[in-house]
Amino acid sequence: MQGLGDFRKAWLAAAAGLMLVNSATAQGKWPERPITLVVPFVAGGGTDSIARDIASQLSHRFGQPVVVDNKGGAGGSIGANFVAKAKPDGYTLLFATSTFATNAAIDPKLPYKPETDFAPVAMIGRGPLLLVTNKALGAKSVADLPKIAKTREGGINYCSAGAGSINHLSGELFRQQATLPMTHVPFKGSGPAALELLAGRVDAFFATVPTILPHLKTGKLELLAVTSAQRSSLFPQVPTMAEAGIKGYDVTTWWGVLAPAGVSPEIVNQLNQAVNAAAAAEPVRSRLKHEGATPISLSPKAFAAELHDELGKWKAVASKPGMEL
C-alpha cells in the first residue's frame, strides 16, 4: 500500500508539472488566433479611425489578425459590457475613450463595474476639448458667458453628444465652477450637436477637435478656450479655461485599451508594449495629432491610477445639485 501511495504522489507531481509546462507553453504562444478589438461606437468616427490604425499595427506586430468590431449604443456601455463579460484570455479587448468614465459616473446601474471588471492595458493619448459658441450669442471670452446668462431668461444652454458624454460633463463642470444658469441639450452624437450649434439653436458646445475644426472656418462660431491645463499646439493663441478665469478647470478626452479582468499579467504586459509602440508609430501618431491629442505611453498600473482618478472626478461632478441629464 505504501508503494501505491508513493506512486500516486509521484504521478500527481508529474501531472502538476506537466500542467505547468503546458500552461507556460500555451501562454508563450499567445496570440495564436485572431484578436477582437471592440469599439463601443458606430463605425466611421474619429475614435473608430484611431482604433483601426491601432488594430493594423497590432496585427503586424503579433502576426495575427486584429479585427475591429463596432458595438455602438448606450453611450458606449453595450460594447464595454460585451468585453467585461468576455473570456479573460487576451483575445477580446475594448478600445475605450473618456466616455467610459463619464458614462459610469452618471449611471450607477451599468451591468459592469468599470474598475473591477476590466484590466487596464494602455492609454495612448490625451487631448483637449474646445469651448465654442455660436457667434450670435455675442460672447468674445469665457468671462462674457456669465454676463450674457444673467440677461436671458433661463440663462444659456449647451449641447452634447448625449447624456454621460465627455461634452456633457465638461459643460456641467463649467456650470458648477462658474455658477451660472445653463441648460443641457443632449443629441445623438457630436455631428447633430455641431449642426444645431451652427444653426444657432443652441449656444455653446464643449466639442472635440475633429468634430468642430471644419466648422471654425465658417465664421459662425467663436472659439473661447481649450479645456486642458496647457494650451493646445493647434491653437496656441487660445487661452485655457483656467487662464480665462475658471481656476483649476482641466478636462481632456483620452483613448486607451482595456481587457477583461482576469487576463494574465504576462499578456497584459505584452499588449501594453505593443499598444504603446503602435501609438508611437505612423499613422496612429498623426491621427492623434489630428484629434488635437498628445501621445502618451503609460504602464498598466499608471493607466489604472489615471482611470481611478477620472472616475472619482466625474462621479463628484455628477453628484452635485443641479446636475442635468
- Domains belonging to the chain, first-starting first, are 34-127+253-318 (3.40.190.150), 128-226 (3.40.190.10)
pLDDT greater than 70 at residue 278: yes
Determine how β-strand 66-70 pairs with β-strand 35-39. Answer: parallel
pTM of structure:
0.86
Cα–Cα distance between 303 and 297 in angstroms, integer? 9
Residue 10 scores a pLDDT above 60: no
Cα–Cα distance for residue pair 168/249, rounded to 1 Å:
15
Q: How confident is the model at residue 28 (pLDDT cuts 50, 70, 90)?
A: low
Q: How far apart are CA 130 and CA 132, in angstroms?
A: 6
What is the chain's mean pLDDT, rounded? 90
Alpha helices in the chain (DSSP H): 2-29, 46-62, 77-84, 99-106, 144-151, 166-178, 190-198, 209-212, 265-280, 284-290, 300-318
Residue pLDDT, tens place only, 202-250: 999 999 998 898 899 888 999 999 999 999 989 999 999 999 999 999 9
